[in-house]
Amino acid sequence: MSTNQMQRAGFSVQRLSRIDRLLERYVDEGKLAGVLGMVCRNGETAYCNAFGHRELETGQPMTEDTIFRIYSMTKPITAVAALMLFEDGRFLLDDPVADYLPEFSDAQVCVGDLDNLVQPQRPPSVKDLFMHTAGLSYGWGQDSPVENLYRQTFGERQQLSLQEFVQSLAALPLLYHPGARWRYSYATDVLGRLVEVVSGKSLDDFFRQEIFTPLAMDDTDFHVHADSVDRFSACYCPPGGFTLGSDTDSDDKPGDNGSAIALHEASRDSRFTRPPAFLSGGGGLVSTLGDYQRFCQMLLNGGALDGNRLLGPKTVELMRANHLPPSLIPIGIGDNVDAGYGFGLGVSVLTDLPATSTPGSVGNYAWGGAASTQFWIDPVENMFGIFMTQFMPAGHYPTAREFRVAAYQALID
């Protein structure tokens, strides 16, 4: 980035260099194979730099056009797709899910054990799908026998179509009464199926026609195309492995070769190099820094980019508002509490700045992915940041949070 760009965006050139030192340190210490960071403000790219390798085994460097598994950073894209249909009058947020997905008509709630199923106090709504308050889960927990049913039922979910997956999910009991709890879940995958049913298009077709093509997100898809596999990053993990949804089983000790990381998935061995049967609106996309930059800029602009309007400004405002009552804040995944954050329609929302112990603004909205990718958008500062790497599990290192600190400390105007 030029000095003028950084200064026009309101950043200190000298202080932005601290981001370089932060990201470089993680690579030099062997904790991450490679990283990409970007900070944009007032329409200017103030910072963009790459360090390390996208694949250590082949020696390929990390570059700005590297393709990443963005996993749950798919969720805000699915939320935008659904909100486009909401704007088109296809449904209201308070409508019961069963109005569009009748397989949920007989939903029951597990109370204590599987022999004690009761009618929900109210049916799960479309809004519950956006907010992870529908009574669903991911099968990571140990606090309900329904979690075991998830693990037994969805071990081979990638072989299912989205329709088959949602039908299987709807046949399981809810873990809690809709609206009573916030629990990270397959709700966004159900929302993706709702997009299909309401629009009459497959989720990949809707994404491509209504979002990716208008925003020129040319590298974002449910798989990496054959002519782009050489830009696809490998994915890494601790030498001791990890348990999805928890950091407790990961191991910081060096592996047999003395490395602080191990190869989890080589680029060419990945299932993401093949078109999937399961079009996961909750975690199925691959993308690039540049593509996700355009998505974030569209949201920061109030729903439009380069003359293409996907959403109205008031709908984006609704999306990025906290919809959770105080009793359900802060949100948390497993034992990891996201202090200071509530939840909007597909994104976390900063509600209590001091509780986060991190610079930012009330109203920041954000989300991340299982391989440690993350973005945040700050409407107050007209700013967003994107952090890209490929290391599982997310949260093993506080890199993304440190990246936000480094970005905000450089803001001087």
pLDDT single digits (tens) 54-77: 999 999 999 999 999 999 999 999
Q: Kindly state whether residues 63 and 138 are assigned to the same domain.
A: no
Using the predicted structure, report yes or no on whether residue 398 has a pLDDT greater than 70. Answer: yes
Tell me which residue range forms the domain holding 165. Answer: 81-204
pLDDT number for residue 1: 65
pLDDT above 90 as % of the chain? 91
Using the predicted structure, report yes or no on whether residue 272 has a pLDDT greater than 80. Answer: yes
Please identify, among 151, 170, 204, the residue that sits at the C-terminal boundary of a domain: 204
Using the predicted structure, report yes or no on whether residue 93 has a pLDDT greater than 90. Answer: yes
Q: Kindly state whether residues 138 and 240 are assigned to the same domain.
A: no
Q: Kindly state whether residues 260 and 398 are assigned to the same domain.
A: yes
Q: pLDDT digits over 277-294, tens only?
A: 999 999 999 999 999 999
Q: Kindly state whether residues 293 and 343 are assigned to the same domain.
A: yes
Q: Kindly state whether residues 123 and 34 are assigned to the same domain.
A: no
Using the predicted structure, report yes or no on whether residue 240 has a pLDDT greater than 70. Answer: yes
Q: pLDDT digits over 336-379, tens only?
A: 899 999 999 999 999 999 999 999 999 999 999 999 999 999 99
Domain membership flag for residue 215: no
pLDDT number for residue 102: 98
pLDDT number for residue 124: 98
Using the predicted structure, report yes or no on whether residue 15 has a pLDDT greater than 50. Answer: yes
pLDDT number for residue 244: 65
Q: Kindly state whether residues 123 and 256 are assigned to the same domain.
A: no
pLDDT number for residue 253: 44
DSSP β-bridge partners for residue 387? 37, 374
Domain membership flag for residue 216: no
Domain membership flag for residue 151: yes
Q: Kindly state whether residues 261 and 357 are assigned to the same domain.
A: yes
Dist. CA 295–CA 301, nearest whole Å: 10
Q: Kindly state whether residues 245 and 344 are assigned to the same domain.
A: yes
- Report the SS3 class of residue 264: strand
Q: What integer is the mean pLDDT of 257-283?
A: 92
Count of domains observed in the chain: 2
The pairing of beta strand 332-333 with beta strand 336-337: antiparallel
Q: Kindly state whether residues 246 and 376 are assigned to the same domain.
A: yes
Q: Kindly state whether residues 257 and 331 are assigned to the same domain.
A: yes
Q: Kindly state whether residues 292 and 401 are assigned to the same domain.
A: yes
Domain membership flag for residue 219: no
pLDDT band at 252 (very low <50, low <70, confident <90, very high): very low
Dist. CA 137–CA 175, nearest whole Å: 7
Domain membership flag for residue 107: yes
Q: What integer is the mean pLDDT of 210-232?
A: 98
- Alpha helix ranges (H) inside 132-186: 145-153, 162-170
Please identify, among 170, 204, 238, the residue that sits at the C-terminal boundary of a domain: 204
CATH number at residue 250: 3.40.710.10
Q: What integer is the mean pLDDT of 122-139?
A: 98
Q: Kindly state whether residues 144 and 235 are assigned to the same domain.
A: no
Residue 386 near residue 295 (C-beta atoms within 8 A) = no
Domain membership flag for residue 210: no
Q: What integer is the mean pLDDT of 242-264?
A: 59
